[in-house]
Structure 1
Amino acid sequence: MDIRCGTAGWTDKTLIACKRFYPRGSNSAEARLRFYASQFPLLEVDSAYYAMPSASNAQLWSERTPEGFTFNFKAFRLFTGHQTSPDVLPKDIAMALPEGITGPRKKNLYYRDIPAEVLDELWRRYREALEPLRASGRLGAVLFQFAPWITRAPDGLALVEDCRARMAGYMMAAEFRNQSWFDDQHAPWTLDFLRERGLVHVIVDAPPDVTSRVHTVWEATHPQLAMVRLHGRNTQTWSATGAASAADRFDYDYSDDELTGLAPSIRAIATRAGRTHVIFNNCFEDQGQRNARSLMRILGSDLAPLP
């Protein structure tokens, strides 16, 4: 089986501050990435959700990791229907927005607010930023984690279809947060929808008793890739409005018993796709890195070797 484990991000402030993952002297961005790549074969670039990525950074990441290493990219938040501050757009893009879209009362923009020609340019730059990694064979999937209010209604379907068209030629994975996609009535339809469009279904592990998540459905929709993302099971912080960061929201330490319980399902899904990515998104301090190492130990010989 080709199962690869990794974490969402590698430069979270709490991870660096805890001083338990990176060895002494790993004080530069280059040193940290090189060390991470010596421990795991897979990394999710979560910073690409918060701001547009750059081709120059992608080129450096390609040069600092070994052949066979894989980067998954998280799609920019504007593309997935999330509220987006004009401050995180490239300055020239923000300045090009028509008067009336931004202003003292308009703290956030949505995909529908952006003129077509500006969207075209944002997508062009996003794809351009991926190219150094694709050229070096290090680009895995581009993850679209759609906002909780993106439903199966026509406007939600239209957004997914537009993203798919914009990402033609790339491996696109879809993680939904609205339960309308995978409730008992619509789960088979959604799986067929993803299969027909060549999209990767993201299997989520998250608190079982929250509403802004979909059911955990262990199915693969793409022959080349299956994806599992582990968000932790912290109900109290999942939707906490006062959470200062992703590290606060996903503060959860999986026990070995919990990881052992997940292992059979991961092994089973790995038989249905050429490669399986398992990403830990519990990004408080070194929880994700420790849990990823524990799962690698549990899975043992089923794992793909480090590059």
Structure 2
Amino acid sequence: MNIRVGTASWTDPTLIKSKRFYPPGCTSAEARLRFYASQFPIVEVDSSYYAMPSGSNSVLWVERTPADFVFNIKAFRLFTGHQTARDMFPKDMQPALPQNGKKNLYYKDVPDDIRAELWRRYLEAIQPLRAAGKLGAVHFQFAPWVTSAPKDMEHVAHCADVMAGYTMAVEFRNKSWFDEKHTASTLAFERERGLVNVIVDEPQGSSNSIPSVWEVTNDQLALVRLHGRNHETWNIKDASAASNRFNYDYSDEELAELADQINRIAALAARTHVVLNNNFEDQGQRNAKTLTGLLGDSAIVPITW
């Protein structure tokens, strides 16, 4: 089996401040990525959600990682239905945005020509990763208000059309997608479109939580994202860092249970990616190391440069 375990982000402020992962003197962007890639075979790029990715950064990431290293990269927030502040758009495009008095814009607010240009620039920016064989999944984490209603399903299908030829992973944040009435139809939709069902481990009980649905919908990739199980911080307001939401340290017993489930699901897909998103301080890195050991020979370990 082909299982890669890594973390969401390698530059979280709380990780760097903790001084428990990077060795002394490892302070530059280049040094941190090179060190991270010596420890794990995959990473998730989170910055591309907050702002459009940069092609020049993609080139640098290719140069600074081993040949078999993989990047999963998040889709820009406008594409996933999130509110997007005007200053998050490329500077040269900001004057062309609709002057409707709104501080934040949604996908429906943006004219078709601007949307098309954003998609073009996004795909152009990640092309260096793709050309180098280092692009894994493009991860679409849809907003909590993107429901299983037909109009929202049409938007997900629209994104799938644009991303044709790429591996598109879908993570929903509205429980309607996987309630008793819609689970079967959601999985059928994902299979029909070749979308990767993102299997999550996260706090349950809120409207923006979905259950762990251990199903493979694209036989080329299974994707598991572990968000932790901290109910108190899942919907925290005004956090000083996004990672405060995911402040959770998995126990060895919890990781052992997850390892068994991951090994079972990995038998159904050509490749399996496991991303630890409990990225407060060094929790994700420590848990990822432990999980890699628990997965045994199924897990890929980095090749020394």
Q: Compute the TM-score of the two structures, normalised by the length of structure 1.
A: 0.97
Query: Aligned-pair distance for 1:95?
Result: 1.2
Query: Aligned-pair distance for 1:154?
Result: 1.8
Counterpart of 1:216, as a letter, is S
Counterpart of 1:147, as a letter, is A
**Residue correspondence of structure 1 range 258-277 to structure 2 within 5 A:** 258-277=254-273
Residue 80 of structure 1 aligns to a residue whose secondary structure is: coil
Moved more, 141-150 or 211-220: 211-220
**Can you give the 5+ residue segments of structure 2 that lack an aligned partner in the other structure?**
none
Counterpart of 2:75, as a letter, is A
C-alpha separation in 2, matches of 1:236 and 1:244: 15
> Which residue matches 1:51?
51
> Which residue matches 1:28?
28
> Which residue matches 2:157?
161
**Contact 1:210–1:235 (CA<8 Å) still a contact in 2?**
no
Q: Compute the TM-score of the two structures, normalised by the length of structure 2.
A: 0.98
Alignment equivalent of 1:297, drawn from 293, 296, 299: 293
C-alpha separation in 1, matches of 2:298 and 2:41: 14
Establish whether residue 116 from structure 1 lines up as the match of residue 118 from structure 2: no
Residue 73 of structure 2 aligns to a residue whose secondary structure is: strand
**What is the root-mean-square deviation in Å for CA atoms of aligned residues?**
0.9
> Which residue matches 1:251?
247
**Can you give the 5+ residue segments of structure 1 that lack an aligned partner in the other structure?**
none
Counterpart of 1:59, as a letter, is V
**Contact 1:237–1:243 (CA<8 Å) still a contact in 2?**
no
**Residue correspondence of structure 1 range 96-115 to structure 2 within 5 A:** 96-100=96-100, 103=101, 106-115=102-111
Alignment equivalent of 2:178, drawn from 171, 179, 182: 182
**Residue correspondence of structure 1 range 1-307 to structure 2 within 5 A:** 1-100=1-100, 103=101, 106-307=102-303
C-alpha separation in 2, matches of 1:305 and 1:39: 8
**Contact 1:52–1:90 (CA<8 Å) still a contact in 2?**
yes
Deviation track 1:193-219 (CA, whole Å, cap 9, x = no partner) reads: 000100000000001233311111100
C-alpha separation in 2, matches of 1:155 and 1:137: 35
C-alpha separation in 2, matches of 1:160 and 1:245: 28
Residue 235 of structure 1 aligns to a residue whose secondary structure is: coil
Deviation track 1:146-186 (CA, whole Å, cap 9, x = no partner) reads: 00110111221111011111111110000001111111221
Sequence identity of aligned pairs in percent?
62
Change (3 A) 1:99 1:211: closer
C-alpha separation in 2, matches of 1:240 and 1:159: 28
C-alpha separation in 2, matches of 1:253 and 1:50: 25
